[in-house]
Amino acid sequence: MPTVDVLNMDGERIGELELNPVIFDADIKEHLLYDVVKMHQANRRRGTAATKDRSEVRGGGKKPWRQKGTGRARHGSIRSPIWRGGGVTFGPRPRSFKYLLPKKMRRAALYSALTSKVKKDQLIVLDSLQLTEAKTRNVVRLMNNLHVGGKALVVTAGSDLDVYLSCRNIPGIKSIVANQINVLDIMKYDQLIMTRDAVNVVEEVFAS
């Protein structure tokens, strides 16, 4: 059964926590990590790119010149796709890029992502995360105490407005609630910082 040190907000070791091996000691399946990350990225695409075809472009109702006798090529509208300012042929249209992989694949990828953080010593467990006020400097001080130099994902057991407001102005730092944890965020950030209660929530919600 994997274990991890439990630290306080000063970065001091105060205990040890046993992790659920189903979640934190699973087989790392890189192909599932790739597939699920790609799914999350596709689901975040807005899909709002759009162009106008010849029926939507303003103007062009009158035939530019008569059919025969001018010596020029025949044309019926100045909004044809071959004209400057005309419609676009086969251009992008608003659409959804969303798709969903099977639940078992998503769950296995989540286990793989969390296990990889444990095996790379990139998981930090805090006994608690209590901020006296919503100040960015409080999180900066915490990161210095924990010797976190790169990007970090802070996971709390429940919604914590002070933590959210304190993290949002720091580049590379993001806070998230435990039951909303996902593969894309885990793989995107170098360090995964979780409270002891957040670990319990993850094990309770995702172990089944």
Tokens 């019926």 appear where? 76
Does 29 share its domain with 62?
A: no
| Percent of the chain at pLDDT exceeding 90 | 81
In this structure, are 176 and 107 located in the same domain? yes
pLDDT computed for residue 133 by the predictor: 86
Same domain for 129 and 55: no
Supply the range of the domain harboring residue 75.
51-91
At 113, give phi and psi (nearest 5°).
-65, -45
Listed in order, strand segments (DSSP E) in 19-122 are none
Based on the fold, state whether residues 117 and 200 are members of the same structural domain.
Answer: yes
Query: Does residue 132 or residue 194 have the better pLDDT?
Result: 194
Q: Are 135 and 164 in contact (CB under 8 A)?
A: no
Whichever domain contains 132, its CATH number is 3.40.1370.10
Asked whether residue 177 falls in the same domain as residue 103, the answer is yes
> How does pLDDT run across 101-146, given as a tens digit for each residue?
999 999 999 999 999 999 999 999 999 888 888 899 999 999 999 9
Structure confidence at residue 182 (pLDDT): 93
pLDDT of residue 160: 86
d(CA 128, CA 155): 11
β 173-177/123-126 pair status: unpaired
Residue 31 has pLDDT above 90, yes or no: yes
Total structural domains within the chain:
2
Same domain, 172 and 87: no
Looking at the structure, tell me whether residues 115 and 81 fall in a common domain: no
20 and 82 in a single domain? The answer is: no
- pLDDT of 132 reads 83
What does the pLDDT look like over 147-175, one tens digit per residue? Answer: 998 899 999 998 889 999 999 999 999 99
Question: Can you give the pLDDT at residue 197?
Answer: 92
Residues 189 and 103 in one domain: yes
Within the chain, strands assigned E span 3-7, 13-18, 123-126, 152-156, 173-177, 191-195
Residue 139's identity, in one-letter code, is V
Asked if residue 118 and residue 187 are part of one domain, the reply reads yes
Q: Are 126 and 164 part of one and the same domain?
A: yes
- CA torsion angle for 109, 114, 116, 118 (degrees, to 10)? -160
pLDDT at residue 208 greater than cutoff 80:
no
